[in-house]
Amino acid sequence: MVSSVVRAPLRRLLASQQAGLVLVILALGIVLTLFAGSHPDRATGQPVNNFLNSNTLMQTATDASFFAIMAVGATIVIISGGIDLSVGSIYALAGVTTAMLLRGQAGGGAGTVLTGLLVCVGVGVLCGLVNGALVVGLRVHPFIITLGSMWILRGIAFVASKAESILLPEAMTAFAKASLGLGASLHPVPMLAMVLAAAGGAVYLGRTVMGRHVFAMGGSVEASRFSGLSLGRIQIGVFALSGLAAGLAAFLGAGYYGSASCADATGYELYVIASAVVGGASLSGGRGSAVSAMLGALLIVLIRQSIRTLHFDQNYEWIIIGCAIIVAVVLDQGNARLSARRLAREARG
């Protein structure tokens, strides 16, 4: 009796999308550990694995964190049946706006950090609200609206900054690079923010009424309309959340690197959507997970890391990531068809 009670949740856990992603990430990590080689530690002279060491692992998580946070917000949009191509441009505009407002503040303290956070998040939410309002008001597909806003917002950042890289106050860099007692070379703040963002997205989607409405709209627009849901409000809300996530990523990214420019996050749209898709989000809507989006981002960064660590030609990076996206979509569709057949058989039986 006890074994069956334990076995059922374990079986569900192993069958989940997250379990598959975790196993793939672990397998890739093992391959990197075995073939990465080693180097002597500067302090002790002992051999240190080129991949399996605290600095490399933390840097890998940091590299993933900036677009993983955006992937959480973009996944919510994708679940609703939409898409947001403007997240990279929102990131750039939020970072540039914050850097311009705080320009000249050499030091600063908690007030400077809080101001930077509020400005970044505020710009992100405002851009998201505009995207949502345009989608609802003009009744144009989100792909077209956000494709246009992607160019418009980056253009505004370009004009406002005059294509310059603007330094941020030291307080923001000190916050983003805080070691939290782990050592001067380890900076866990972006990684912790990524985990918190994924947890917050998971709670929103799985534990709130608004999250259930997002899934309902993505599953069937007509059924949601007949159920009395305010589809316009849901659309505006998901784009606002996507903008909020991009603003938060901009705050951490600009602070971590110490500057902001209009070219920041160029191409991040592809990584963000790839993270969501590899994480199991359906571009037709109705299916996706915030935690899986984070794991998808980690997997993509590990693929990039493996190309560098194993000394492969980096020109193949986009080819490999593109193949990974196609394979993930094909496997996801195959799994969906198998599930549909199984349900049909059970219904007939």
153-173 pLDDT, tens per residue?
Answer: 999 999 999 999 999 999 999
Q: How many CA atoms lie within 13 A of 126 on its CB side?
A: 10
**Largest alpha-carbon pair distance within the chain?**
72
pLDDT at 24 over 50: yes
In a domain, 337, yes or no: no
8 found inside a domain: no
Exposed/middle/buried for residue 47 (C-beta within 10 Å: 0-12, 13-18, 19+): exposed
162 assigned to some structural domain: yes
* Mean pLDDT of all residues belonging to the chain: 88
Residue that wins the pLDDT comparison between 309 and 254: 254
Query: Would you state the torsion angle of the CA atoms of residues 72, 76, 82, 88, taken in this order, to the nearest 10 degrees?
Result: -20
Q: Is residue 252 part of a domain?
A: yes
Contact 224, 210 (CB under 8 A): no
State the pLDDT at residue 5. Answer: 52
Over range 248-261, report the average pLDDT.
Answer: 95
Nearest Cα to Cα of residue 52 among 67, 31, 66, 72: 31
pLDDT (tens digit per residue) in 102-112:
987 766 688 89
Residue 55 in domain: no
What total of structural domains would you count in the chain? 1
Rounded to the nearest 10 degrees, the angle between the axes of helix 268-278 and helix 317-348 is 30
Residue 82 counted as domain residue:
yes
Query: Confidence band (pLDDT; 50, 70, 90) for 8?
Result: low
Instruction: Evaluate whether residue 112 is within a structural domain.
Output: yes
Distance from C-alpha of 265 to C-alpha of 273, rounded to nearest angstrom: 13
Report whether 339 contacts 289 (CB < 8 A): no
Q: What is the mean pLDDT of residues 138-148?
A: 95
Q: Does any domain span residue 303?
A: yes
**256-277 pLDDT tens trace:** 999 999 999 998 898 899 899 8
Domain that includes residue 259, residue range: 63-330
Query: 211 — phi, psi (to 5°)?
Result: -65, -40
Give the range among 132-136, 146-150, 280-284 with minimum mean pLDDT.
280-284
> How far is Cα 143 from Cα 284, in angstroms, rounded to an integer?
13
**How far is residue 73's CA from residue 349's CA, in Å, rounded to a whole number?**
41
Is pLDDT above 70 for 13?
A: no
What does the pLDDT look like over 35-51, one tens digit per residue? 888 888 777 778 888 88
Rounded to a whole number of angstroms, the distance between the first and last alpha carbons of the chain is: 27
Both tokens of 332, joined, read: 């996801």
CB count, 10 Å around CB of 299?
23
How many whole angstroms separate alpha carbon 330 and alpha carbon 25? Answer: 19
Query: Packing angle between helix 142-161 and helix 110-138, nearest 10 degrees?
Result: 140
Distance CA 215, CA 288 (A): 9
